[in-house]
């Protein structure tokens, strides 16, 4: 299962995600009255590597895939960010995602910068052996710019623990020793961390609960709709229902959505998806489209799929009270303004889905120290980090009378710029 699930509605998206990321950055830079020298350093990634990856496919032919690794900024620590496998991967998308990682690691104040990797491929149409060969060759090609103190990848859309293991093994072969801290999101048996799998979803729920408290909404019995039932969405569903008593009334994946006003059992939905390949057709539910799901009258809406699903076209029709962005970049800047005017609270991606990279940090710490943490330790540290970050962001949004995305960006950009200033220029 991938970190997130693809939804077809984004395929019609017209905005370039890098332009969206730049707009968000410039809005924060304006508020901070940032000088040109910092703007330029942060608008352009520090390093971009594009590789042509030859893979011998199962019928004996050689196919060449295009992959990227974008290292946006490392002023606060080694570059950090996942690797995405998706047919629509573009360099500009990876550049946007890398920049968002810089802000995300800064918002939760972990000692990393931001990076992202992406390979344009359709893993649903490839065999496991082909994906392994692709992963290993990509790992080899980018290994020159990676390392436990340089750049540390992780899972993202359509990649998971097994890809991380192939990556870890290949990198270790290249450097001549096992190096568990080079990548996170590994299985526990090879120095993964307990709690990493659920971390994005758990972090999303922690921030959803905090946002609900601020609005005086009781999460017990609150209605929830989730777009995307991959790693982030399915764990968020399970945790918010099981631990907080919320009612999941709609979920979806790339094939469509399901709805039941009496509530869906997240475990049974996941079983159904594992068995049939989709949430669609789940017993006792009626079918709805991904677009309809977004417009449901719910307390909490969790977009947990891909970019640009809440846009100027549908923002006026959104009826949720709180939107918690488990996906990266689901809301466009124009939609953000409309939602803010309507009084809808948006917990932005760089805060709402930062649980994943936060536990990646815990995994990295365990990797470099060769120590093991317990699940309880991971969960309680994650909770503390997420609540601290939520309070920081919420406080700035109230103080400056800006939405939570701008507040999170102001906090993050300030932290990164302070690090750049403190370090100075060399040579």
Residues that bind ligand GLU (CB under 6 A): 3, 80-82, 104, 154-156, 184, 328, 353, 356-357, 360
Residue 302 · residue 226 · CB < 8 Å: yes
Q: In this chain, which residue has its C-beta nearest to ligand GLU?
A: 82
Residue 310 · residue 328 · CB < 8 Å: no
CA 352 vs CA 137, 392, 404: distances in Å: 33, 13, 11
Question: Least distance (Å) from ligand GLU to the CB of residue 201?
Answer: 12
Interatomic CA distance for residues 240 and 33, integer angstroms:
39
Q: Roughly how many angstroms between the first and final C-alpha of the chain, as a whole number?
A: 45
**Closer CB to ligand GLU, residue 104 or residue 238?**
104
* Local structure of residue 78 (DSSP, 8 states): S
Interatomic CA distance for residues 178 and 172, integer angstroms:
5
Question: Least distance (Å) from ligand GLU to the CB of residue 230?
Answer: 11
Bridge pairing between strands 256-259 and 286-288 = antiparallel
Q: Which residues of 76-93 are buried (b: 16+ CB within 10 A; e: fewer)?
A: bbbbbbbbbbbebbbebb
Which residues sit opposite 56 in a β-bridge? 62
- Location of structure tokens 């992780």: 154
Question: Least distance (Å) from ligand GLU to the CB of residue 116?
Answer: 8
**Closer CB to ligand GLU, residue 201 or residue 257?**
201
Question: Least distance (Å) from ligand GLU to the CB of residue 37?
Answer: 28
The SS3 assignment for 219 reads coil
Question: Least distance (Å) from ligand GLU to the CB of residue 108?
Answer: 10
**Closer CB to ligand GLU, residue 77 or residue 81?**
81
**Closer CB to ligand GLU, residue 81 or residue 256?**
81
Helices (runs of H) and strands (runs of E) counted in the chain: 14, 12
Interatomic CA distance for residues 84 and 98, integer angstroms:
11
Question: Least distance (Å) from ligand GLU to the CB of residue 94?
Answer: 12
Interatomic CA distance for residues 218 and 222, integer angstroms:
6
Catalytic: 398? no
**Closer CB to ligand GLU, residue 204 or residue 285?**
204
Interatomic CA distance for residues 29 and 19, integer angstroms:
15
Interatomic CA distance for residues 320 and 36, integer angstroms:
38
Among 80, 95, 104, 116, which one carries the catalytic annotation? 116
**Closer CB to ligand GLU, residue 256 or residue 330?**
330
Interatomic CA distance for residues 194 and 376, integer angstroms:
9
**Closer CB to ligand GLU, residue 152 or residue 294?**
152
Question: Least distance (Å) from ligand GLU to the CB of residue 24?
Answer: 15
Which residues lie closer than 8 Å to 177 by C-beta, 6 or more apart? none
Question: Least distance (Å) from ligand GLU to the CB of residue 400?
Answer: 25
Residue 86 · residue 68 · CB < 8 Å: no
**Closer CB to ligand GLU, residue 32 or residue 49?**
49
What token pair was written down for 296?
């449901």
Q: Which residues are catalytic?
A: 116
């Amino acid at each position: 299962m991938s970190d997130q699930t693809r939804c077809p509605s984004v395929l019609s998206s017209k905005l370039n995600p890098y332009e969206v990321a730049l707009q968000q950055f410039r809005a924060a830079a304006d508020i901070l009255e940032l000088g040109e020298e910092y703007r330029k350093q942060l608008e352009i990634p520090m390093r971009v590597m594009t590789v042509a990856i030859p893979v011998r496919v199962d019928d004996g032919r050689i196919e060449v895939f295009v992959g990227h690794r974008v290292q946006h900024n490392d002023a606060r620590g080694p570059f950090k960010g996942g690797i995405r496998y998706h047919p629509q991967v573009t360099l500009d998308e990876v550049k946007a995602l890398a920049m968002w990682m810089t802000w995300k690691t800064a918002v939760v104040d972990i000692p990393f910068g931001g990076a992202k990797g992406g390979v344009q491929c359709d893993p649903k149409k490839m065999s496991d052996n082909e994906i392994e060969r692709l992963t290993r060759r990509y790992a080899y090609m980018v290994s020159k710019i990676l390392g436990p103190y340089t750049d540390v990848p992780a899972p993202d859309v359509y990649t998971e623990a097994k890809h991380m293991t192939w990556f870890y093994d290949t990198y270790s072969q290249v450097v001549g020793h096992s190096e568990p801290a080079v990548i996170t999101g590994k299985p526990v048996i090879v120095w993964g961390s307990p709690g990493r799998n659920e971390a994005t979803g758990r972090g999303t729920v922690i921030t959803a609960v905090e946002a609900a408290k601020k609005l005086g909404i009781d999460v017990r019995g609150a209605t929830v709709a989730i777009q995307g039932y991959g790693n982030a969405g399915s764990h968020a569903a399970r945790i918010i229902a099981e631990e907080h008593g919320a009612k999941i009334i709609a979920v979806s994946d790339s094939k469509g959505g399901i709805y039941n006003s009496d509530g869906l059992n997240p475990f049974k939905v996941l079983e159904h998806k594992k068995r049939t390949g989709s949430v669609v057709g789940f017993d006792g539910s009626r079918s709805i489209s991904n677009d309809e799901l977004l417009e449901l009258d719910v307390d909490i809406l969790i977009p947990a799929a891909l970019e640009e699903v809440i846009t100027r076209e549908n923002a006026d029709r959104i009826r949720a009270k709180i939107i918690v962005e488990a996906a990266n970049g689901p809301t466009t800047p124009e939609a953000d303004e409309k939602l803010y005017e309507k009084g809808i609270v948006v917990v932005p991606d760089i805060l709402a889905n930062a649980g994943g990279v936060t536990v990646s940090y815990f995994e990295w710490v365990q990797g470099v120290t060769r120590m093991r943490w317990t699940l309880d330790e991971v969960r309680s540290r994650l909770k503390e980090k997420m609540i601290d970050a939520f309070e920081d962001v919420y406080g700035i949004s109230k103080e400056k009378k800006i939405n939570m995305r701008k507040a999170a960006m102001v906090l993050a950009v300030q932290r990164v710029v302070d690090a750049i200033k403190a370090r100075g220029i060399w040579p």
